[in-house]
Amino acid sequence: MKLPKKIELINCDPADIGEAIEAVQASLEIEYELIALQDAKTFGEYCDVVMAALGRQHRDGCTAQQGFYKLRMAIGKVLKKDMAGITPATRMDSLFPAAGRQRKVRELQQELGVGMGLLDLRRGVGWGVFGCYLLAFLGIFINWRYGLAGLGVCLILNRVAWRFANQFTNGTVGEVARRFALHYYRRARRDPETVNRHEVVPVIKGIFQRVLHVDAETLTRDAVLG
């Protein structure tokens, strides 16, 4: 059996790599030197540019753990609940019942000061909306007026569906905390003006993996940026 070929950076769309770079910039809240960024030809050189742009005091401490405590405190405030019973294994849907979930999740994200997109469509609803778009698109080739009208209806259905999105994208508090620390690294820190430099490259790798769907072992220092 032939194993599927691993996706490497050099094969990724430059626009997607740009999206990953923007995500790193947003997470670490840094500004790059444009010339230095343009000169970075490999993943290792890009990581060096990021490290040089940090300019913050190094302080040890696990950011994912700090992010968990911040998240737990925010959940406690929003739900007016004893935080001691909230662990990394606690299910998000056990803390936030379906009734009123959207409102409480919005309050949680406001408390954290981030917008993580914690809620998603039910799988069946998502496939249904996708099917409507597909039919409308095919309808354009049969009768463009009906097809365009169908796309308009799909846009309305899509907006309505998202107003009722109620499924957590991450099942447990621990998973949400890890996502918080990855995509909002500075805000997850106990002191946002510090950085644990030992964590920076793993954070960059994690973001590149999530955005580009590349394998971790392909993100070597010599990996060529597409």
Residue whose C-alpha is closest to residue 148's, from 140, 156, 138, 158: 140
pLDDT band, very low/low/confident/very high, at 75 (cuts 50, 70, 90): very high
Same domain for 99 and 78: yes
> Does 130 or 105 have the greater pLDDT score?
105
- Is residue 225, in this structure, part of any structural domain at all? no
Same domain for 143 and 52: no
pLDDT at 100 over 70: yes
Residue 140's pLDDT is what? 79
- Is residue 21, in this structure, part of any structural domain at all? yes
Least confident of 124-133, 177-186, 205-214: 124-133
Same domain for 130 and 145: yes
- Is residue 4, in this structure, part of any structural domain at all? no
3-class DSSP state of 2: coil
| pLDDT digit string, tens, across residues 113-133 | 998 888 876 666 667 767 777
pTM of this structure: 0.77
Same domain for 42 and 146: no
Residue 162's pLDDT is what? 59
Structural domain total, the chain: 3
Residue 56's pLDDT is what? 78
- Is residue 48, in this structure, part of any structural domain at all? yes
Same domain for 108 and 177: yes
| pLDDT digit string, tens, across residues 12-63 | 998 999 999 999 999 999 987 777 788 899 999 999 999 989 887 899 999 9
pLDDT band, very low/low/confident/very high, at 3 (cuts 50, 70, 90): very low
Residue 164's pLDDT is what? 67
- Is residue 198, in this structure, part of any structural domain at all? yes
pLDDT at 2 over 60: no
Q: Please state the rounded mean pLDDT for residues 209-213.
A: 92
Least confident of 136-140, 171-175, 194-198: 136-140
Q: What are phi and psi of 59, to 5 degrees?
A: -150, 130
Same domain for 100 and 24: no
Residue 132's pLDDT is what? 76
Same domain for 72 and 150: no
Same domain for 177 and 106: yes
Contacts of 44 (CB under 8 A, 6+ apart): 220, 221, 222, 223
Residue 223's pLDDT is what? 93
Same domain for 152 and 87: no
3-class DSSP state of 96: coil
Same domain for 130 and 104: no
> Does 213 or 2 have the greater pLDDT score?
213
Same domain for 108 and 73: yes
Domain that holds residue 35: 9-59+191-218
Distance, CA of 57 to CA of 201 (rounded, Å): 16
